Amino acid sequence: MILNENVQKRNIISEGLNYHITNNKPLIENIYRPGSDNYFQLWKEARTLYSRNLLEIDNDDDLDIILNTNLGEYGLYLGNLVPLDFPMIDESLSFLHEAEYKGKEVQLNKPKRGGSKKFYVYVRDPKTKRVKKVSFGAAGGGQNLAVKIRDPKARRAFAKRQQCDRKKDRTTPGFWSCNIGKYWKSLGGGSNFSGYW
């Protein structure tokens, strides 16, 4: 990230953003705890400065989040102010609640690698209240097909091709394929990615 010299002279940026710029640390490695006020404020500040051509962002992942999400902004949901494009746990579906599938204790809504496809996850079907195993990804584990999570163009193309904005049902493979980026770190990848992967 490079700050416009006019902004440097006026010294109007926050301490957090200054730290990221000085240490050449991408915003996806945010120094603040995800979900904290400072976390959202840092993304909002970077987006504002970028939109005014006062900040140049050279990290593709940061730029993708700035251009294609509303991370750092808030919206109203059922009368409550909620952060946009930030994964939140639905307590009724949380993986913190243990469940049983075919006599075995399992965690709900926590994707794992393996199974008949590349990934699988256990979910509770809201209609039947039963636990269901959802397999998704390439058949046979997709050894020759890499998940191109770090490529913003590939993520956008996948989201468009799969119509990810319409995938809302957690009991379908499409939902989990479109939202795998939110769980990427727990699957052994680097950072999680907000929004459609």
In the chain, what are the domain boundaries? 2-83, 91-187
Give 109-154 pLDDT, tens digit per residue: 888 888 888 889 999 988 888 999 999 887 765 555 567 777 788 8
Tokens of 31: 């120094």
**pLDDT on residue 42:** 95
CA 158 → CA 8, 147, 155, 162, 196, distances in Å? 39, 10, 5, 6, 9
Q: What average pLDDT does range 68-72 have in this prediction?
A: 91
d(CA 48, CA 55): 9
Least confidently predicted of 57-61, 69-73, 178-182 = 178-182
Q: Which amino acid is at 59?
A: N
Do residues 193 and 184 lie in contact, with contact meaning Cβ atoms separated by under 8 Å?
A: yes
Q: What average pLDDT does range 45-51 have in this prediction?
A: 92
Residue 95 has pLDDT above 60, yes or no: no
Average pLDDT, the chain: 81
**pLDDT on residue 73:** 92
